Amino acid sequence: MGNEFLTRYDAATSLAAPGWEDSEISSFLNIGQLRLVREKYLAGDYNPISNLIITDSAAAAPHTVILDNAYTLNLNTTHPTYLYYLRSRSKLTRTNPTITDEWIPNDTFGDKTDIDGFLTTVYNKPWFKYPKAFTEVDDGENVLTVIVDAYVSAVSEIELTAIIEPTMIDIDTTTDTNLDLVLHPVIVEYAVEEALKSIKIAKISNQ
């Protein structure tokens, strides 16, 4: 991929532009593969990046602010290379309908600003079929927050399915991407685009 980058870059600049260190080429390639993963995620085309999709569960913790009916899963601890949320579910116990430690899929919605109608208070005892989930930053940590209704007595686990980062490329240590070989030409193409963009920005700033 490094050699292909240099070949395409030289062709695009007619050998007239300055060269790049291996560390810089690695950075461009990493920008390229992260852009590719984002495009696949936004398009819902998950097959080419299926090896980046993980499903894992961990014990749910009570939310530090929304005390009555919210639980969290710390993404930084559970999935340190978490990129994009796909879906989640919660293992919960409730009285209406009566279930004990069963997995229920979570609905997703907006963000923290949309939760007022779902909170349990002395004036509000909500009932909704599926827990409501959203991602947020809480005390500097990325967390998945799950809100349950007033009839849920406990949430023991939260399971997350997400897209994680690909292996970061490092030409110096010959660390390769773990994305499929068929995607490598696109990664290189995006990397060259980034390199050319940086040259253009440098020229403008020097004028």
Say what the pTM is.
0.83
Which residue in the block uniquely carries the two structure tokens 């994305």? 179
> Is 160 in the same domain as 170?
no
> Is 97 in the same domain as 158?
yes
CA 32 – CA 38 distance, rounded (Å): 10
> Is 43 in the same domain as 58?
no
> Is 84 in the same domain as 152?
yes
> Is 10 in the same domain as 82?
no
> Is 39 in the same domain as 72?
no
Which residue in the block uniquely carries the two structure tokens 């930053």? 137
pLDDT tens for 152-182 read: 989 999 999 999 999 999 998 888 999 999 9
Tokens of 50: 């299926």
Q: Which domain holds residue 152?
A: 52-164
At 202, which amino acid appears? A
pLDDT tens for 7-32 read: 898 888 876 666 788 999 999 999 99
pLDDT tens for 114-144 read: 677 787 877 888 888 899 998 877 777 788 8
Q: What domain count does the chain have? A: 2
CA 53 – CA 114 distance, rounded (Å): 28
Q: What kind and span of H or E run contains 201?
A: helix 184-206
Whole-number Cα distances in Å, 72 to 80, 101, 175? 15, 17, 34
φ and ψ at residue 21, rounded to 5 degrees = -70, 160
